[in-house]
A and B are shown apart, each in its own frame.
Chain A
Amino acid sequence: MNQSRYVYWMFLMNSLLNILNFVPRELLDARFRGAQTSILVAAVLGTAFLSVFTILIAKFPGKSIQDILETALPKGLIIPLIIMFASLWCVAGLITILSFVDITMRFVSPDTGPGIVIISFLVLVCFCARMDSLSVLYGMEMLLAIILPLILYAIIKALVNPDFSWDSVLQIMTYSAHAPDLKSIAAATFSFSGYFNLAIFNRVLPKMKMKHSWVYAVNGLAVLLLTFYVPIGYFGTIGVEKHVYTWFSTADSIRIDTFLIERMLFIFYFAYLTLSLVSVTVHWHVGKELLTGLFPRKQAKNRSTGWQELAILGMFSGITLILMRLDQYQLNEFGVVFLYARWFGELLMIMLLCYCYAVAYRRRNP
């Protein structure tokens, strides 16, 4: 419970975040062609990835992925690998930010310029990502505790709405007898990939253990199914593909009768803005830690490491600002490419870990 719970929070964060943009869109686009079987496959694959990775990395208590790779691989190979992984994390964060700026522009502040919104996000994220790993974890846990009730409330409220069209959901279920397709699986496994952050956080969680993997499977599956079915209940089997930010439109369709705020959209927006900011912080923290690990290590945290961190985060922010120019469809394509890349990155990382473990095992028992 004590340290292992952070793994669960990381998982939960990603799993809830998948609602944001690309995952529901990819899944709903494939709703007549095997999205549902893909979800099932993804639940199995995702849990398997998660368990294998967590168990393997727990064999190296207190070490980050870099320390682990250094035990078995030559230095020349490590640097490109780490840069590749770091860029994955950087992209993961910036996609979330870009999507959220877009969502903010559409749903909340059409009057405010996107510039100031993205700058306020970036300033916050850079400030938070520079904190030490444990603080990031504490903060993540705290903010999750604040927003989880809100998200649960939104989901329950969405499901008990008498205007929820269960017939549409059932109708989609009759389309489930299709072979799963790769794109949907890649999208759906994103829901499980929160564990990936352990690559760095393993360093501060030496007592972490992998327990109760069925919880992850059930939880991930439940979130994915909700992600998929709830918008269908609100927009019908055909109308659903017309919406760009499916879940935000869904939240916009829910009315709260007895509160100061009438539209669920804003509660949902509040929760998801918080969640995305935390998630970007976590992702960029990992990316930053990976990259600073490449520099020769110094004893104490001094001025130059501070500048290094700033330079790395500044680079991340710069890329984000450049990518602001993408339009809706380009961003979507970019997101889909990322979903694939991330999946293969995970696969690669697990294989590397396996190799490192094998090397370590052989060294110990020659």
Chain B
Amino acid sequence: MMAEQQKAEEISLQWIKGQLDNFADLEDRQLTAPAGSVKLLYVKSITDPQIINRSIIAPFYEMNDPAAYKEYLAHYPGSEAVKDSKQVLDLMLGGYACVEVEQRFIFFDALKAETSSVSQTMTESITQGPSDALTENLAVNLNLIRRRYQSAELKMESMLIGNISRTKAAILYDDSRVNHQVLDELRERLSTLRVDILQAAGELEKYINSDKVRIFPKTIVTERPDRVVFNLAEGKIAVMLDTTGFAIVLPVIFNDFFVAMDDKIQLPFVGRFLKLLRILGVAMTLWLPALYVAFTSYNPEIVRVQIALLIAGSRATVPYPSFVEVLIMLVMMEFLTEASLRLPRAIGPTATTVGGLILGQAATAAGLVGNIMIILVSVVAISNFMIPLNMMSFSIRVLKYLFVIAAAAVGLVGVVVCLVGFTMYLCSQRSFGQPYFKMFALDRLGSSGTQKGGRS
């Protein structure tokens, strides 16, 4: 008790006010009652006036006894005694009210959190299953997770990231399943992180990955609490930030990006089929434009003669080489996608329809683009969106141009070379020291017996 007081003496109200100079929303009040007076200091915009009224001001006048009031404040849950001057500022900016009573500073938690309530998922919709999304409030998020993962093994560590934004981050993991090597690496990377502002989960994702050139996401950024829980149970780590509705899951493997949460709900065969569809979709998006270029410009001998003649017919009026045609249409499609993303919800679909249908029609009618090209571009666009996680879907979207360029340079050979390079590159990637892409199925095959025994 004494030690605390001595430390607190270093800080004066005046000092705090000096630090928070030019704060228009700083409230500085002196409450005076017959038995004595206290000083109250808080930042109005992030404190809850109700809490201030009900828990700080009203009791003071009712009790009319500064000593008892001090005890009351000091033992109120959420109030803190200070340790050093730096913490004082953190608390003040974190929504605490500073009360000076009998030469002692007590910081009272009066944070007003403007939070949206738990809402529906927006970016990862599924047909069945829970539709809660993570919110922008860490406490609510933790609530969402804890409710789904009722295990004493679920550990949580918290830290502050960002010199200015002071974003609260929570690291969640299942202690009995997590790979501690990965955990240590994550802790190290987070603690060495030097940024000013951290606002989004994706941003953190970018900072904690070490490699300079990255094409593929190495962590999942998700808004679904059930995905977080599912991954926690698999021994992964989740990092959650206050003020963003997304969590980061790591380490991940390539296949994780093709798991939608309703795969678990579907019957096993249906689930497998859906996953296969997605992988097929990726293959289509990556290859179709490239193969079109290869088939029309270098190797028309590959497809059967009937198809070759069809392609030749549809291209009869097109005045430029096939890869220009492909690039034009693909870029057009990207415009459409981007545009409909940014447009208000009400007119988004209109833009897509108008753009997609009319533009395609007109382009073929004008003879600028072949019919087959339009089909192809639509297939590419549609299959691209089959990937459940946005980060990966964007990566694939960009990567297909690489394939197109390779095909334009050397035809089929280029496509195959690109495929091999792509696979090898994926295999050389590591997510937090763990392999990113390999035949995981075969690894499990060897040890399946022991695992089953352990679980049952």
Q: Which residue numbers of A lie inside 8 Å of B, CB to CB?
A: 1-2, 5, 104, 108-109, 111-112, 116-117, 120-121, 124, 127-128, 131-132, 134-136, 138-139, 141-143, 145-146, 260-263, 266, 270, 273-274, 277-278, 281
Smallest distance from the beta carbon of A207 to chain B beta carbons, Å? Answer: 11
Chain A residue at minimum C-beta to C-beta distance from B429: A135
The B401-456 residues at the A interface (CB cut-off 8 A) are 406, 409-414, 416-417, 419-421, 423-424, 426-428, 435, 437-439, 442-443, 445-447
**A128 near B420: Cβ-Cβ < 8 Å:** yes
* A residues near B424, Cβ cutoff 8 Å: 127-128, 131, 135-136, 139, 143, 281
5 A-B residue pairs with Cβ-Cβ distance under 8 Å, sorted by A, are A104-B413, A116-B410, A120-B406, A139-B428, A143-B420
- Report the Cα distance A127→B418, complex, angstroms: 12
> Knowing A121-B417, A261-B302, A263-B302 touch, does A143 contact B410 (C-beta < 8 A)?
no
Given contacts A128-B420, A261-B302, contact A138 B438 (CB under 8 A): yes
Quote the shortest CB–CB distance from B214 to chain A (angstroms). 16
Report whether B303 and A277 are in contact in the complex, using a CB–CB cutoff of 8 Å: no
Kindly state whether residue B216 has any CB partner on chain A within 8 Å. no
Q: Is there contact, CB below 8 Å, between A108 and B421?
A: no
Contact present for A120 and B420 (CB under 8 Å):
no
List the B side residues contacting A116 at CB < 8 Å. 409-410
Q: Which DSSP category, helix, strand, loop or mixed, fits chain B's interface?
A: helix
Are the C-beta atoms of A262 and B304 separated by less than 8 Å?
yes
On whether the beta carbons of A132 and B428 are closer than 8 Å, the reply is yes
Q: Is B414 in contact with A120, judged by CB distance below 8 angstroms?
A: yes
Q: A109-B411, A138-B438 are in contact. Are A260 and B304 (CB under 8 A)?
A: yes
Question: Whole-angstrom distance from the CB of B245 to the nearest CB of chain A?
Answer: 35
Q: CB within 8 A of B420: which of A135, A141, A278?
A: A278
What total count of A-B pairs have CB within 8 Å?
A: 105
Residues of B within 8 A of A145 (CB): 439
Given the known inter-chain contacts A116-B409, A117-B413, A260-B304, please indicate yes or no for A109 contacting B427, CB distance below 8 A. no
Q: What's the Cα separation between A136 and B420 when bound, in Å?
A: 11
Q: Mark B133-175, 1 if CB is under 8 A from A, else 0.
A: 0000000000000000000000000000000000000000000
CB distance from B319 to the nearest CB of A (A): 21
Taking the closest CB of chain B, its distance from the CB of A259, in whole angstroms, is 8
Q: Is A1 a contact of B303 with CB atoms below 8 Å?
A: no
Complex Cα distance A121/B410, Å?
11
Residues of chain A lying within 8 A (CB to CB) of residue B421: 124, 127-128
Given contacts A124-B420, A135-B424, A277-B420, whether A142 and B410 have CB atoms under 8 Å apart is no
Chain A proximity of B308: nearest CB distance (Å): 10
Does B299 sit at the interface, judged by CB under 8 A?
A: yes
* The one of A2, A5, A134 that contacts B447, using a Cβ cutoff of 8 Å: A2
Q: How far is the CB of B183 from chain A (nearest CB, A)?
A: 22
Among B406, B417, B438, contact of A141 (Cβ-Cβ < 8 Å): B438
A291 to B298, CA, bound (A): 39
Q: Enumerate chain A residues within 8 angstroms of B447, measured Cβ to Cβ.
A: 2
B375 — which chain A residues lie within 8 A by C-beta? none
Contacts of A5 in B (CB 8 A): 442, 446
User: Nearest chain-B residue to A129 (Cβ)?
Assistant: B424
What A residues does B420 contact at CB under 8 A? Answer: 124, 128, 143, 274, 277-278
* Contacts A109-B410, A138-B437, A281-B424; A270 near B299 (Cβ below 8 A): no
Task: Decide: A2 and B446 in contact? CB cutoff 8 A.
Answer: yes
Considering only CB atoms, which chain A residue lies closest to B306 in the complex? A262
Q: Do A142 and B417 form a contact, CB below 8 Å, given A120-B410, A260-B307, A261-B302? A: no
Q: What separation, in Å, do the CA atoms of A183 and B255 have in the docked complex?
A: 47
Other 16 A-B pairs with CB < 8 A, given A120-B406, A273-B417: A2-B443, A112-B298, A117-B410, A117-B413, A120-B414, A121-B417, A124-B417, A128-B424, A131-B424, A131-B427, A138-B435, A145-B439, A260-B307, A270-B416, A274-B419, A277-B417
User: Are the C-beta atoms of B409 and A120 separated by less than 8 Å?
Assistant: yes
Give chain A residues whose Cβ lies under 8 Å from the Cβ of B411.
108-109, 112
Return B304 CB to nearest CB of chain A, in Å: 4
Which of A112, A260, A261, A263 is B410 in contact with, Cβ under 8 Å?
A112
**How far is B97's CA from A273's CA once the two chains are assembled, in angstroms?**
71
**A334: shortest Cβ distance to chain B, in Å?**
23
Q: Mark B294-312, 1 if CB is under 8 A from A, else 0.
A: 0000110111110100000
